[in-house]
Chain A
Amino acid sequence: MTADESTFSSVGSEITVTRWASFKDQVGRSWYRFSRNPISLAGGSMVLLVIVLAILAPYVTPYPRHAGSFTDFLSAFQPPSQSHWFGTDEVGRDVFTRVIFGYRVSLMMAAVVLGISVPFGIFLGLVAGYFGGWIETIIMRVTDIFLALPPLVMALAICSAFTPTIEKAMLAVAAIWWTWHCRLINSITRSIKTEEFVQASQVIGSSHLRILFKDILPNCASAIMVKITLDAGFVILVGAGLSFLGLGVQPPKPGLGTMISYGSQHLPMKWWLTVFPSFAIFFLILGFNLLGDGLRDMLDVEAEGV
């Protein structure tokens, strides 16, 4: 249905129809721009492939039992072959199977960390940018403290207080990650709040909450989307680092960083234990980065901090 046809109905539905049409139009255009960019298309397919593999891990891997504390010492340290694409590890588990299950942990980590920290950071960023004054000063100075350390070091410091598990590692990373989103949203909000539509909303008496979430937040959406995509790769990188240092995924659970850490003890002879999990991490992070870069071009995000 086009906008012309709907003029026969009431005024309200006319607006919804044109909105829907323009939304469809926008999505179509964005998709066109996205699909014309080979880089973002490649990144999107890489991420999609990993997600599908990770979800279907028990069905697509040749030896799903090898994801846990399975042992088969007779087939330990086998180099890559037809039956074990990525070889086997020190207790005879299939490395390919464990890499795919390791992807599950990595993706879960990204989802949990961003799921906790992004809404928190967005809310504080909106409040700080909109209200300004001492509220902004306090919130932004706190983020400065968190940003005075590299994320990995900060996460290490928080992890040090707990017994190391992957859940604690996720919480530790989430505890620092909100600061980046807070800064991003703060800078966008500061520039948007002086726009006329926000002032108009204030004049007709909208509540602060309504202005924050209905007027300002939608204008941050594309920046947030790009940031989340790029961050997913970065969180996975930090998580792999924590696991590599023994503070993330604990054996026998399969984590990519943990696998590399154990595999590196068997370099150079058992190279496959290190090389394949390394490549797996690289593949996933590269996918997220390419996708994020493509999204940035598609959505035309030029905000500071993305």
Chain B
Amino acid sequence: MYSILVLVGLSVLIFIIARILPGDPARLALGPFASQEMVARLRHRMGMDQPLYLQYVAYVGGIFHGDLGLSFQTRRSVSLDIAHYLPATFELVLVAIIWVLIIGVPFGVLAGRYKDSWLDNISRVVAFVGVAVPPFVVGLIGQLIFSYGLGILPTTGRLSLLTPMPPARTGLLILDSLIAGNFSAFGDALSHILLPSLAIAMTGIGQITRLTRGSVSDVLGKDYIEAARAFGIPNRYVTFKYMLKPSFIPPLTILGLTFASELGNAFLVEQVFSWPGMAKYGIQAILRKDFNAVMGVILIIGLAFVAVNFIVDVLAGYVDPRIRIQEES
């Protein structure tokens, strides 16, 4: 309910930005040589001669039919365009989240468990560097070292030119190539996604590592851990049975924010790697003032953010019974 409110607010905000601020979309679509009459006709066809609130109602009505308007740039429906570009971005961000989870979380647990060891110090450096380097810089330096320098990774795109696309099932090349049993395409897709996904994940890895570390060291100072130790419960058992689950809660709750920041990073990284995704499409739309496309992309991102936060809330309730009880009472 509450997330729906956020989405409605977001759509109003974006609508205001797109329609009230200077620049006539009809004029931009037709170019400087179109006659006044043609512009007026297009404005009428797009419903732009109607009062603003009616335009908004029409726009929202369209959303429920999956209609986000026409893109001036590609001359296709925005929903088709987004459906075409979304899987590439989704794949990229998904792999980036996996990096955050398999690098950031274990690293944070070890750093918190062995506080002030060399591991902890490395995690501190990783966190500072991860947050301080812009994602496009990570991408470019990665390209410079691994693609141009060592020649072991491809520079741009999702697949090599010579690799045939696996038949589209999910739109995610890694999965599609696996489903088709095409392991050379799988390896190719994997080597293409490695650098961009890591570039996107850097910030998140830094943040999650520090947060996990802090939460692990908090939990380790709790009385019940002390009690478990005093009872002579083996260390391994204390770690896996009593320490891990409660320490995962703080990192889990900010996973939604991490996801959002990764979507933002995708706007920079897709540009670096010529990744044919939604963010690259969105940048083109923004540079060419293709308002319907801009609004469509932003709404999809808002929707994704709301959905991810919902999932995170459910997961948090699952991991932490205290949250569940609080909500029920």
Residues on A lying within 8 angstroms of B by beta carbon are: 141-142, 144-146, 148-153, 156-162, 233, 237, 240-241, 244-247, 257, 260, 264, 267-268, 271, 274-275, 278, 281-282, 285-286, 289-290
Q: Which residues of B contact A237 (CB under 8 A)?
A: 132, 134
Whether A244 contacts B132 by the Cβ 8 Å rule is no
Those 3 A-B pairs whose CB atoms lie nearest each other, nearest first? A150-B264, A268-B148, A161-B21
Nearest-neighbour CB distance to chain A for B8, whole angstroms, equals 9
Distance from A251 Cβ to chain B, minimum over Cβ atoms (Å): 15
Q: Does the CB pair A148–B10 fall under 8 Å? A: yes
Chain A positions within 8 Å of B144 at CB level: 267-268, 271, 274-275
Q: Is B122 an interface residue (CB 8 A)?
A: no
Interface centre among A152, A153, A158, A237 (most CB of B within 10 A): A153
Decide if A282 touches B133 in the complex (CB within 8 Å).
Answer: yes
Asked whether, in the complex, the Cβ of B301 is within 8 Å of the Cβ of A153, the reply is yes
A171 to B220, CA, bound (A): 45
Q: How far is the CB of B252 from chain A (nearest CB, A)?
A: 17
A244 touches B136 (CB 8 A): yes
A-B contacts, 10 of them at CB < 8 A, read A146-B13, A156-B286, A157-B14, A157-B17, A162-B21, A241-B134, A244-B268, A260-B136, A264-B140, A267-B143
Name, among B21, B133, B143, the residue most crowded by chain A CB atoms within 10 Å (CB to CB).
B133
Give A269's nearest chain B residue, CB to CB: B148
The answer, yes or no, to whether B73 is at the interface (CB within 8 Å) is no
Interface residues of chain B: helix, strand, loop or mixed (majority): helix
User: Shortest distance in angstroms between A203's beta carbon and chain B's nearest beta carbon?
Assistant: 34
Tell me which of B13, B14, B148, B287 contacts A267 (CB under 8 A). Answer: B148
Q: Which residues on the B side are within 8 Å of A285 (C-beta)?
A: 131-134
Known A-B contacts: A240-B134, A271-B144. Give 18 more (CB < 8 A). A141-B9, A144-B9, A149-B260, A149-B264, A156-B286, A157-B298, A158-B17, A160-B17, A162-B21, A233-B132, A244-B134, A247-B287, A274-B140, A274-B144, A275-B141, A278-B137, A282-B137, A285-B134
- When distances are taken between beta carbons in the complex, the residues of chain B under 8 Å from A162 are 21-22
Is B23 in contact with A161, judged by CB distance below 8 angstroms?
A: yes
**CB neighbours of A267 from chain B (8 A):** 140, 143-144, 148
- Closest-CB distance, B26 to chain A (whole angstroms): 15
Q: Which of A149, A152, A274, A281 meets B268, CB within 8 Å?
A: A152
Cα–Cα, bound, A264→B144 (Å): 10
| Chain A neighbourhood of B165, CB < 8 A | none
A161 near B283 with CB under 8 A, answer: no
| CB contact between B286 and one of A141, A160, A278, A282 (< 8 Å): that residue | A160
The reply to whether B302 and A148 contact each other, CB–CB distance below 8 Å, is yes
- B1-28, CB < 8 A from A: 5-7, 9-10, 13-14, 17-18, 21-23
Chain A contacts of B298 at CB under 8 A?
Answer: 149, 153, 157
With A145-B9, A237-B134, A244-B136 as contacts: A157 and B129 at CB distance below 8 Å: no
CB distance from B232 to the nearest CB of A (A): 34
Q: Cβ of B51 < 8 Å from any Cβ of A?
A: no
**Which of B131, B132, B148 has the most chain A CB within a 10 Å cutoff?**
B132
> Quick check: B132 and A148 within 8 Å, CB to CB?
no
B263 A161 Cβ-Cβ under 8 A: no
Q: Kindly list chain B residues whose C-beta atoms are within 8 Å of the C-beta of A268.
A: 143-144, 148-149
